[in-house]
Structure 1
Amino acid sequence: MHRNGPIALFFHGLVVAFVLAPLVVICLVAFTPENTLSIPTTSFSLRWFAAIFEHPDFVQSFYNSLWLATLAATISILLAIPAALAIDRYDFPGRDALNGLFLSPLIIPHLVLGVAFLRLFALIGATGSFFWLVFTHVIVVTPYVMRLVMAALSGMDRSAEQAATTLGASHWTVFRRITAPMILPGITGGWLLAFINSFDELTMSIFVTSPQTVTLPVRMYMYATESIDPMMAAVSALMIALTAAAMLVLDRAFGLDKILVGQK
């Protein structure tokens, strides 16, 4: 067992390097002073980060994505918590069907979802609406929230809930004072995961956005089809930095290990 330790460590190191290498290259290219996609070798420059703010379309798309991801993640939490409680705590007809319905977007390609929503919105005359854009993102990100909330519920000790109920506490009081704080790492992790997936969503968003509701990934895709310069690397580096900062805050606040196992 010990003889295989260095080999396993080396293999895991290769996997991590393979995953991180593209991100490192993008971040390095973002600091190039050249006009082409190249890794800086002699000097570093912030010119392409400054160039982002010279394009108001990118700034507006960032705010669109930020507002969209916040709404989608929050609504998905409001839907996932009662659904997860019902599926985890009660046995009722259609329980498995309800669970499958909430998780079904995970097995449907986003390209298929985008085409289906585009056709649906065209039939009901809802194309270009920010409300329906939020609706599509909620459907896509809710399964991620469901999985983390259900993991947190299955990993918690219910003795405190039972004691509070025996002492006469209402169901709402038990949930607000006991259940919610105990599954808070799962709720917070689910919200953050939903936010990141909504913010980064491209494939489906291409079909359901309008000129007034273009998200940042869609704007980047549109820009990349017309011009290839290091500004795309700068935008990508900022998105990577924001995601890393959010994960760091989450780890400091709750601990990623607790979120992954659904325990506090």
Structure 2
Amino acid sequence: MSRNGPLALLFNALVVSFMLAPLVVVCVVAFTPENTLTIPTTHLSLRWFKAVFAHPDFVQSFKNSLGLAAVAATLSTALAVPAGIAIARYSFPGRDFLNALFLSPLIIPHLVLGVALLRTFTLINATGSFFWLTLAHVVIITPYVLRLVIAAVEGTDRSAEQAALSLGASHATVFRRVTLPMILPGVTGGWLLAFINSFDEVTMSIFVTSPATVTLPVRMYMYATESIDPLMAAVSALMVALTAVAMLALDRVYGLDKILVGQR
């Protein structure tokens, strides 16, 4: 069967439909005027979106998640860029161990990480701090940045850097003026993936958040244990919209095709 044949296209369409169907249903339910989780049959309403912005706990949790995700993604990127360059270009003792250490959060369940971090923070009396919550998020999102940075570095041509060095540029100048612009699509894509994963993280965050640092996914989880109404669908639709806007902005600035090619 041809890779581009009718059956292959039909199979791909079915897979995409299966993946997107739950998101579409949630987004449609968010516009219901009813008090229950039902698909609107008479008319569309913004009632539950207005209820989200009128709910102070959700607004504050959104601000917490937005700030937390931005700071954690920036810190993880600052850590992953030099680590990725070192792992991709140099051979040194412990290189494989360092790579495995950075990527280990991908194979450790977030439930286990949450319990371990809670125990650690309790021992050092650091529970309830935004700083330690940020570090916890850095641990779990750094692998996403590192993988894209390594792929971007391995896909670059070092001749431009060598030419700059031969013309008298310092290593810092070469990194700032040559290396970083070449790997910027991968770095930006990694930052965005880290931001999205931090913003959506709930399993680990449940263990390390405090009443003052409750994130939006944790707030949604807490609200869902008490009541089920279209408010949750409205919040979910807003999160889907935020992610879609971020991906669209990344595509317009750098192009997702460039990032995906660099990752391969």
TM-score by length of 1: 0.98
Residue in structure 2 matched with residue 233 of structure 1 by the alignment: 233
CA distances 1:42-66 after superposition (whole Å, capped 9, x unpaired): 1000000000122100000000000
What does 1:244-259 correspond to in 2, within 5 Å?
244-259=244-259
Deviation at 1:31, TM superposition (A): 0.1
* Structure 2, unaligned runs of 5 or more: none
Deviation at 1:261, TM superposition (A): 2.0
Task: Decide whether aligned partners of structure 1 residues 4 and 241 sit closer, same or farther in structure 2, where only a CA change above 3 A counts.
Answer: closer
Residue identity opposite 1:14 in structure 2: L
Residue in structure 1 matched with residue 197 of structure 2 by the alignment: 197
CA distances 1:74-98 after superposition (whole Å, capped 9, x unpaired): 0001000010111111111111111
* Structure 1, unaligned runs of 5 or more: none
Percent identity at matched positions?
A: 78
Residue in structure 2 matched with residue 21 of structure 1 by the alignment: 21
Q: Which moved more, 1:81-90 or 1:63-72?
A: 81-90
Residue identity opposite 2:97 in structure 1: A
Task: Decide whether aligned partners of structure 1 residues 127 and 170 sit closer, same or farther in structure 2, where only a CA change above 3 A counts.
Answer: same
Q: State yes or no: 1:219 paired with 2:236.
A: no
Q: Contact 2:114/2:206 (CA < 8 Å) preserved in 1?
A: yes
Residue in structure 2 matched with residue 181 of structure 1 by the alignment: 181
Residue in structure 2 matched with residue 50 of structure 1 by the alignment: 50
Moved over 4 A (4+): 1-4
Partner of 2:77, secondary structure, is helix
Give me the whole-angstrom Cα distance separating, in 1, the residues matched to 2:2 and 2:131: 57
Give me the whole-angstrom Cα distance separating, in 1, the residues matched to 2:171 and 2:74: 23
Deviation at 1:2, TM superposition (A): 4.6
Residue in structure 1 matched with residue 10 of structure 2 by the alignment: 10
Give me the whole-angstrom Cα distance separating, in 1, the residues matched to 2:128 and 2:229: 30
Residue identity opposite 2:48 in structure 1: W
Residue in structure 2 matched with residue 146 of structure 1 by the alignment: 146
Residue identity opposite 1:81 in structure 2: V
Q: Work out the number of aligned pairs and report it.
A: 263
Residue identity opposite 1:122 in structure 2: T
Give me the whole-angstrom Cα distance separating, in 2, the residues matched to 1:252 and 1:194: 19
Residue in structure 2 matched with residue 113 of structure 1 by the alignment: 113
Give me the whole-angstrom Cα distance separating, in 2, the residues matched to 1:191 and 1:226: 34
TM-score by length of 2: 0.98
